[in-house]
DNA sequence: CCTTCTTACTAACTCGCGTTAGGAGGGAAC
DNA sequence: GTTCCCTCCTAACGCGAGTTAGTAAGAAGG
């Protein structure tokens, strides 16, 4: 059997074989009576190719009639440009990681990019495998998002592609990052309590070793300073970031002779515990004690009674900004290792 | 300028041009001193090609030395098989959608598939655009997941590819689906209360029009029937699925002369409200009134005090099972329009 | 009528890889 | 010394697109 005999061209007619494949540009070209190149020019809107409207219309009609859908893989191969960004994050263990994804995906779509998501559930192996998979897809850039604001050591593989860290920053300081403005958030929360007339404001802190704790506390102190109120460190107690921790810490504050009239909790979970401590003592919120949380965990903040005034972490904005930085990076702009901070807005509800 | 002059082969040496691209199979072949075909055979583990271990090793070493990474797009193009599944879901508006993704992604990875995620935030346009994008990636199958168990009308485009519905079912009944076993869950929750000795068990239902409400109530009645306890419809009150709704409904039950000693709440949010109603009356949980929820919303169930005993929706299992069905579908097996139900386990904590 | 532009298109190559048909080389059987 | 078979490997296509260089046809200018 000669070579030419062997090369049987499978006809693209209806009633083809089993595995039906979608129409290709060739099919569109044939139907429109033009070459494949022309189809490519029309569908990619290449203005410099001088395709008259009449031809353009024929091509577009043919594509529509056939239900033509471009093959992203083939396009990426030929164009040497995938239009994909990737994001690695712990999606399940962190309910708000989805907000980062949402923000990033929306912004990516605006730019004609598609966001591939790899979930790494804190398992280093899964994470590495996920990133590897993303690189096999030839993503143009990578977003590496953490579930809580901290310094991270990213795996080396991350450095093989333009990357931006979200809600975390590189321990080596060699990668650009987007993080929440914890200080501003802490200041804003405290200011809200000051505005409501409180002067004895308790603070329940998180683990003092983490950036969130440091920043929020700094904001608290800055706000007090600005108001001319001396910081009373006995009003600052440490919790363990859970509802129970908040309960204990709040109890400690409430059982003082000169108990504070307001409590700024390091996060919403602790605020939840603080609520219990306050109610248990027959005190009312915000009448006797006002409460402000941090994180805006919807399920807690919106459903506590009364609804909790809290500071929101700007996850969506961070995701979107991350994509912007990625776009700048891949466009060849050097954005260095800048760390961008995003504002944390105060959400007023009924606990102040 | 002649054609042959124009075709300048860009050398693949180091110090190449700007846009560095990763090594290809050709590079690996060259380094290993074999043909590209051989490399392909080795890397794809084609046992029928009779490649001796020595050659195999040379290829693998060369690939490792060069840091070769296959190009997924090119591979999909040549193999006419993408190894990708897609999933569309409302990721942000539903905190538990991520569990479906997690379950599906893990199972997919086990099968050597990668899961592409498109988030459709209840916006029909976004959803359609997302699915369109997935189809452009030539996914082999699609998971369509809803945030709450219900009948859905899927967009026509879904039918262009093997698809399985997750946590919802086709209103036309023409697509396979995986849904939670609401009846079993309701039965299990009620049984737990019966086992604890309760006989007057209140039920706070959800909107009676939705499958979750119907199923859970049916389970409640089945369990009572099986225990020989007549169903007292005055113990069944409707809530509005929020904490406030649970508060009102529970209050109604608690203010009866013959108040129930246990309350089965249609979901955890309502249980949260019920807690408030119970505590407000100076009653204790579970001493005076036992409570069981449904949904296992971690933030609520695990942080309420006392911690809430509830029934979990098997999101991860549904996701995994959906992938299995997709695998069967794409393997050409006809699985019809079967609707598979997955057990909802009872999670015992401290409210019973 | 012949050149020179435009305008409107296309042939042919490329991207990185899977795959099929076949070929070179060596040993065993006749 | 053929012939035959195995073992090991490769040439050459094709997947579905983007892109470059070039050409045919008509219009404009001389």
CB B212 within 8 A of CB B287: no
Task: Note whether B294 and B252 are same-domain residues.
Answer: yes
Q: Is the minimum distance from the CB of A316 to strand C below 7 Å?
A: no
A97 contacts in B (CB within 8 Å)?
98
| Chain-chain contact of B299 with A102 (C-beta, under 8 angstroms) | no
Percent of chain A with pLDDT over 70: 93
Task: Note whether A189 and A272 are same-domain residues.
Answer: yes
Q: Report strand pairing: A346-347 vs A309-312.
A: antiparallel
Q: What is the CA B3 to C1' D22 distance in angstroms?
A: 10
Of B39, B70, B101, which marks where a domain is finished? B70
Percent of chain B with pLDDT over 90: 78
Task: Note whether A252 and A107 are same-domain residues.
Answer: no
Rounded Cα distance between B293 and B309, Å, is 6
Q: Is the minimum distance from the CB of A44 to strand D below 7 Å?
A: yes
Flag whether A20 is in a domain.
Answer: no
Section A75-82 average pLDDT: 94
pLDDT band at residue A341 under the 50/70/90 scheme: very high
**Res. A18: pLDDT tops 60:** no
Task: Note whether B174 and B214 are same-domain residues.
Answer: no
**Res. B9: pLDDT tops 60:** no
B77: nt with nearest C1' to CA: D15
Flag whether A7 is in a domain.
Answer: no
Confidence at residue A96, expressed as pLDDT on a 0 to 100 scale = 78
Flag whether A6 is in a domain.
Answer: no
Q: What is the CA A12 to C1' C8 distance in angstroms?
A: 28
> What's the pLDDT tens digit per position in B172-206?
999 999 999 999 999 999 999 999 999 999 999 99
Flag whether A166 is in a domain.
Answer: yes
| Hits for CB < 7 Å against strand C across B residues 71-90 | 71, 74-75, 77-79
Rounded Cα distance between A132 and A128, Å, is 6
Flag whether A14 is in a domain.
Answer: no
Confidence at residue B263, expressed as pLDDT on a 0 to 100 scale = 98
A-interface mutation test, from B101, B299, B300, most A Cβ less than 10 A away? B299
Which residue of chain B comes nearest to A114, CA vs CA?
B133
Nearest to B84 by CA among B55, B118, B108: B108
**Res. B16: pLDDT tops 60:** no
Distance from the first to the final alpha carbon of chain A = 87
pLDDT band at residue B303 under the 50/70/90 scheme: confident
Task: Note whether A187 and A307 are same-domain residues.
Answer: yes
Q: Is the minimum distance from the CB of B67 to strand D below 7 Å?
A: no
**Res. A1: pLDDT tops 50:** no
Say which residue, B92 or B25, is predicted with more confidence.
B25
List % helix, strand, coil for chain A (3-state, nearest 5): 45, 20, 40
B-interface mutation test, from A19, A137, A271, most B Cβ less than 10 A away? A137
Percent of chain A with pLDDT over 90: 77
**Res. B51: pLDDT tops 50:** yes
A19 contacts in B (CB within 8 Å)?
80
Q: Which pair of tokens denotes residue A84?
A: 């994909």
Residue whose pair of structure tokens reads 């695990």 in the numeric block: B302
Flag whether A13 is in a domain.
Answer: no
> What's the pLDDT tens digit per position in A167-215?
999 999 999 999 999 999 999 999 999 999 999 999 999 999 999 999 9
Say which residue, B50 or B2, is predicted with more confidence.
B50
Section B282-304 average pLDDT: 92
Task: Note whether B214 and B286 are same-domain residues.
Answer: yes
Strand D nucleotides within a 7 Å radius of protein CB atoms? 7-22
| Chain-chain contact of A97 with B101 (C-beta, under 8 angstroms) | no
- Average pLDDT score over chain A: 90
B-interface mutation test, from A17, A104, A303, most B Cβ less than 10 A away? A303
Across the A:B interface, residue pairs with CB atoms under 8 Å apart total: 110
**Res. B250: pLDDT tops 50:** yes
Q: What is the pTM of this model?
A: 0.86
Q: What is the CA B212 to C1' D30 distance in angstroms?
A: 86
A-interface mutation test, from B17, B24, B70, B71, most A Cβ less than 10 A away? B71
> What's the pLDDT tens digit per position in B261-287?
999 999 999 999 999 999 999 999 999
Which of the listed ranges A91-100, A324-333, B12-21 does the model predict with the highest average pLDDT? A324-333
Task: Note whether A306 and A322 are same-domain residues.
Answer: no
Flag whether A169 is in a domain.
Answer: yes
| Chain-chain contact of A129 with B114 (C-beta, under 8 angstroms) | no
| Chain-chain contact of B276 with A135 (C-beta, under 8 angstroms) | no
Confidence at residue B235, expressed as pLDDT on a 0 to 100 scale = 97
Q: Tally DSSP H helices, then E strands, for chain B.
A: 13, 12
Q: What is the CATH number of the domain that holds B251?
A: 3.40.50.2300
Q: Which of A76, A92, A99 sits opposite B73 (nearest CB)?
A: A76
| Chain-chain contact of B300 with A303 (C-beta, under 8 angstroms) | yes
Which residue of chain A comes nearest to B303, CA vs CA?
A243
Confidence at residue A20, expressed as pLDDT on a 0 to 100 scale = 56
**Distance from chain centroid for Cα A98:** 7
| Chain-chain contact of A114 with B133 (C-beta, under 8 angstroms) | yes
Section A283-293 average pLDDT: 97
Beta pairing partners, B169: B151
Number of domains, chain A: 3
**Res. B95: pLDDT tops 90:** no
Rounded Cα distance between A301 and A310, Å, is 7
Task: Note whether A308 and A213 are same-domain residues.
Answer: yes
Q: Is the minimum distance from the CB of B346 to strand C below 7 Å?
A: no
B71 contacts in A (CB within 8 Å)?
77, 136, 138
Task: Note whether B244 and B290 are same-domain residues.
Answer: yes
Task: Note whether B59 and B98 are same-domain residues.
Answer: no
Q: DSSP per residue over A230-268, as a string?
A: PP-GGGEEE--SSHHHHHHHHHHHHTSTT--SEEEESSH
| ω into B329 cis (within 30 of 0) | no
| Chain-chain contact of A21 with B303 (C-beta, under 8 angstroms) | no
**Res. B110: pLDDT tops 70:** yes
A137 contacts in B (CB within 8 Å)?
72-73, 114
Confidence at residue B122, expressed as pLDDT on a 0 to 100 scale = 67
> What's the pLDDT tens digit per position in B304-327?
889 999 999 999 999 999 999 999
Positive or negative, the Cα torsion across A3, A5, A9, A10?
negative
**Res. B23: pLDDT tops 50:** yes
pLDDT band at residue A304 under the 50/70/90 scheme: confident
**Res. B333: pLDDT tops 90:** no
pLDDT band at residue A339 under the 50/70/90 scheme: very high
Of A8, A38, A70, which marks where a domain is finished? A70
Query: Alpha-carbon Rg of chain B, whole angstroms?
Result: 28
**Res. B329: pLDDT tops 60:** yes
Of A44, A70, A96, which marks where a domain is finished? A70
Positive or negative, the Cα torsion across A169, A173, A178, A179?
positive
Strand C nucleotides within a 7 Å radius of protein CB atoms? 7-22
Q: What is the CATH number of the domain that holds A45?
A: 1.10.260.40
DSSP conformation class of B137 = T
Flag whether B334 is in a domain.
Answer: yes
Q: Is the minimum distance from the CB of B8 to strand D below 7 Å?
A: no
Task: Note whether A190 and A305 are same-domain residues.
Answer: yes
Q: What is the CA A230 to C1' D25 distance in angstroms?
A: 88
> What's the pLDDT tens digit per position in A104-144?
999 998 998 999 988 887 678 888 988 999 999 999 999 99
Provide the shortest C-alpha distance from residue A276 to chain B (in Å): 8
Range of the domain at B326: 80-180+315-344
Task: Note whether B85 and B197 are same-domain residues.
Answer: no
**Res. A44: pLDDT tops 80:** yes
């Amino acid at each position: 059997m000669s070579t030419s005999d062997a090369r049987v061209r499978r006809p693209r007619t209806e009633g083809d074989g089993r595995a039906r494949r979608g129409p290709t540009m060739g099919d569109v070209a044939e139907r429109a009576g033009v070459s494949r190149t022309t189809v490519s020019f029309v569908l990619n809107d290449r203005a410099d190719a001088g395709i008259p409207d009449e031809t353009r219309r024929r091509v577009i009609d043919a594509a529509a009639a056939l239900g033509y859908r471009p093959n992203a893989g083939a396009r990426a191969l030929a164009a040497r440009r995938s239009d994909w960004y990737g994001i690695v994050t712990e999606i399940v263990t962190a309910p708000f990681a989805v907000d980062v994804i949402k923000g990033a995906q929306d912004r990516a779509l605006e730019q004609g990019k598609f966001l591939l998501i790899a979930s790494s559930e804190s398992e280093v192996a899964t994470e590495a495998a996920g990133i590897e998979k993303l690189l096999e897809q030839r993503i143009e850039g990578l977003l590496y998002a953490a579930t809580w604001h901290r310094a991270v050591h990213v795996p080396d593989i991350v450095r093989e592609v333009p990357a931006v860290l979200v809600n975390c920053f590189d321990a080596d300081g060699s990668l650009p990052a987007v993080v929440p403005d914890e200080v501003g958030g802490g200041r804003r929360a405290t200011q809200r309590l000051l505005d409501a007339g409180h002067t004895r404001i308790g603070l329940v802190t998180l683990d003092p070793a983490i950036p969130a704790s440091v920043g929020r506390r700094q904001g608290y102190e800055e706000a007090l300073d600005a108001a001319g109120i001396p910081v009373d460190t006995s009003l600052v107690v440490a919790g363990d970031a859970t509802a129970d921790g908040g309960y204990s810490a709040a109890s400690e504050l409430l059982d003082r002779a000169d108990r504070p009239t307001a409590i700024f909790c390091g996060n919403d979970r602790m605020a939840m515990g603080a609520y219990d401590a306050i109610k248990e003592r027959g005190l009312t919120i915000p009448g006797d004690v006002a409460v402000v949380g941090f994180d805006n965990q919807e399920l807690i903040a919106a459903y506590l009674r009364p609804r909790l005034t809290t500071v929101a972490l700007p996850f969506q904005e961070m995701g979107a900004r991350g994509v912007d930085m990625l776009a700048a990076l891949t466009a060849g702009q050097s954005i260095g290792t800048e760390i961008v901070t995003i504002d944390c807005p105060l959400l007023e509800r009924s606990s102040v």
